[in-house]
Chain A
Amino acid sequence: MVKHYDTSVELCGVKLANPVIPASGTFGFGREFAEYYDLDCLGAISFKGTTRDARFGNPTPRIAECTSGLINSVGLQNPGIDKVISEELPHLRQIFHNPIVANISGFSLEEYEECCAKIDKEEQVEIIEVNVSCPNVHNGGMSFGTQPESAAEVTRRVKAVTTKPVFIKLSPNVTDIVAIARACEEAGADGICLINTLLGMRIDTVRRKPVIANKMGGFSGDAIFPVAVRMVYQVANACKIPVMGCGGVSSASDVIEMMMAGATAVQVGAANLKNPYAAKEIIEALPKEMERLGIERLSDIIGIVK
């Protein structure tokens, strides 16, 4: 008899067939990947970071390759919340039928509040992921996520305008991740997502200039996986709310490692850019990896490492 390997997990009452979620900013609104495969194999999708107004983002070049990763300084290019709701969301719903995570970013408390209030009305969205950790925009994004007080304030303001589960996406570019995560939990966050990218920089030694026009950007990819596992472990052990783990995940083995560290769901980011089939291949490899490790129910191993 073939054994059944149960990959399902539950995030704040939202059931996912598996814990794998393409991370915001690496999957657009699903359109490009739908040309490669049927998106319904994915546990959920976290769509491109959305702000109140349409944004072009930073000047190019805004991509730099690194050993086992890349730096990006895209800077939240998106069509703005209204167009996301009127055009992208309906299209995403047509090509994807599992839970949608709305990634919201902002430059002021009012902007976070306004965008979350708008997205709260959208039935298609099951979870709101509030990005207080984008390293690529000035006077916003990451600045809210680097202090416990401001992260808590964003959480409170957003929670006041929505009944959907709110995950706060945190930055690794901080001295005390636990203090920030706890502040969000106390302010009413339903979950924590971490990590966003690490602030990095590359220099073109021939031109003697930064590779990226904006000088610095967010470092992601395989190289940051150990940092992500460490922070997921720290936060999962300090908080009662669920954690979505993110950062350098590129295999089924990585997914399981991050879940053992304490993640309830796991986001796959930069790996999608290298191999458009990455998330699908990771999901397909999960049962075999579970068999190898003697895991029958994936949810049993969440935070099993103490």
Chain B
Amino acid sequence: MYKKGIYTILSNEPLTPAVYRMVLEGDTQYITRSGQFINIELTGKFLRRPISVADYDERTVTIIYKVVGSGTEQMRGMVAGEKLDILTGLGNGFSTDNDAKRPLLVGGGVGVPPMYNLCKRLLSEGKRPTVIIGFNTKAELFYEEEFKALGVDVVVATADGSAGVKGFVTDAIREAKVEFDYLYTCGPLPMLKALYDATDTPAEFSFEERMGCGFGACMGCSCKTKYGNKRICKDGPVLKREEIIW
């Protein structure tokens, strides 16, 4: 279930020079799972901007976005009190109804945000998640402290070694000798593929694709899976290991 509503910006602040966190107030009843996304209408833009949900509660939704184009540049300039027209509750999100006890959560760059609410959810279900977050360099690092504040083990990896383990998230798994029985991940495609190859537990991967509508109507973001054609926006963005065709 997903609906359109008007949301009020409570805050919009930088976490790094290019990554911003925006907290919005409004109806969150249609957001039901971690890993779902919202689709934001912007003045002068024909298509909405799909952004993953980092966290939500009864009256607020938090998104973390990277300024990469004119749409997100417009969002960067927004201030508390401004109102946005948003579709919420989009995408399937991650499933947690499995018997995993020690799930591993891996986020890369702007793939980190959906891991935050997922981590909270897994903790509330009595599971013991470990979190690995990967970035190019220390200047891009965000949310290490927020994850630590949840009381979970957090491993940082940077490609240039300026923070945490030097290398990719797959190097961090090896070096930190992380034990896990389930994998959840979101990030750039090469990272997802590397994790797919480097692990063998049950796993869920959150994918990105250029979208039209964001709610399954236009077929713009389709992909082929072992279970047939799927729409990243509606049947995804989360796909399970066994259905993925690279």
Contact = CB atoms under 8 A, between A and B. Distances in A.
A69 B46 contact: yes
Contacts of A27: 217
Given A26-B218, A60-B221, A60-B223, A276 B45 contact: no
Contacts of B87: 276
A8 interface: no
Interface stretch (A31-39, A114-122, A143-151, A288-296): A31-39
B210 A63 contact: yes
B contacts with A: majority SS: loop
B215 interface: yes
Contact of A272 (B45, B213, B229): B213
Contact of A25 (B45, B216, B218): B218
Nearest to B233: A32
Contacts of B215: 32, 35, 276
Interface stretch (B1-9, B104-112, B145-153, B157-165): B1-9
A67 B43 CA distance: 11
B48 interface: yes
Interface string B195-232: 00000000000000111110111111111100001000
A63 B2 CA distance: 22
B191 interface: no
Nearest to B229: A56
B234 A57 contact: no
Contacts of A276: 4, 87, 213, 215, 217
Contact of B1 (A35, A70, A72, A77): A35
Counting chain B residues whose Cβ lies within 8 A of the other chain, the interface size class is 20 to 34
A65 interface: yes
B201 to A, nearest CB: 28
17 contacts: A27-B217, A32-B215, A36-B4, A60-B209, A60-B220, A62-B220, A63-B212, A63-B221, A65-B46, A68-B46, A72-B220, A74-B218, A272-B217, A273-B213, A275-B4, A276-B4, A276-B215
Interface in B1-52: 1-4, 41, 45-48
Contacts of A68: 46
Interface in A238-279: 270, 272-277
Given A32-B234, A272-B213, A273-B213, A72 B46 contact: no
B47 A273 contact: yes
Those 4 A-B pairs whose CB atoms lie nearest each other, nearest first:
A63-B220, A273-B213, A61-B210, A32-B216
B229 A274 contact: no
Contact of A70 (B2, B3, B46, B209): B46
A28 interface: yes
A255 B220 CA distance: 26
A32 B48 CA distance: 17
Interface of B: 1-4, 41, 45-48, 87, 209-213, 215-224, 229, 234
A36 B212 CA distance: 17
B51 to A, nearest CB: 15
A68 B221 CA distance: 20
Nearest to B210: A61
B222 A56 contact: yes
Contacts of B47: 63, 65, 70, 273-274
Given A67-B46, A70-B47, A70-B212, A36 B217 contact: no
A218 to B, nearest CB: 12
Given A36-B3, A56-B224, A274 B46 contact: yes
Interface in A211-248: 221-222
